[in-house]
Amino acid sequence: MAEENFNYAGFWVRLFAGILDLAFLAPIFLLLVYLVGPSDYQMIKIDQPSFHYSEIAASSQNKFIDYIGWGLSIVYITYFLSRKGQATIGKKLLEIYVGNPDGSQLTVQRSCARAAASILTSMTLGLGFVMLVFTKEKTALHDIICKTRVFHGKKS
């Protein structure tokens, strides 16, 4: 298949796919935080009187919850993108898929790298996602880093 024949997925369809993925992941994330998350009594640091309890609890708990969220996202994205359908649940519902520039399936390693890079993209205050509007192949920052593309159309 020649490169000019590809139909790349644009900003809005990718955004909605991400929202669908979040809707799917949110209950799992909340369950994990409930089951594994630190309880308040584990946050108290008696030997550090200069800190208030609420400051310690907020910073430690927020970091832990961030790590759970990032880990869950990386596992979810890696699992689905490295499989035959090349799409997360949200992407599959909107008939888009992720692949190498030639459309071929990603390896587990490249899927994992892309998942990690997408966290980096989200840390750019959205600019890493917005840049896909201005690129010919509609590539976000994590697509450029990992040499991947998001294609519109069903993956058979």
Q: Place 62 in a pLDDT band, splitting at 50, 70 and 90.
A: low
In a domain, 11, yes or no: yes
Q: Which domain holds residue 122?
A: 3-41+51-152
pLDDT at 90 over 60: yes
In a domain, 46, yes or no: no
Mean pLDDT of the chain: 84
What pLDDT score was predicted for residue 1? 41
In a domain, 65, yes or no: yes
Closest to 102 in 3D by CA, of 12, 2, 17: 2
What pLDDT score was predicted for residue 153? 87
Please give the residue that has the higher pLDDT: either 68 or 75. 75
47 token code pair: 């030997």
Q: The pTM is what? A: 0.78
What pLDDT score was predicted for residue 33? 77
Domain count, the chain: 1
What pLDDT score was predicted for residue 50? 53
- Mean per-residue pLDDT, 10-37: 89
Could you please report the per-residue DSSP string of the chain? --GGG--B--HHHHHHHHHHHHHHHHHHHHHHHHHHSPPGGGG--TT-TTS-HHHHHHHHHHHHHHHHHHHHHHHHHHHHHTSTT---HHHHHTTEEEE-TTSPPPPHHHHHHHHHHHHHHHTTTTHHHHGGGGSTT---HHHHHHT-EEEES---
What pLDDT score was predicted for residue 48? 53
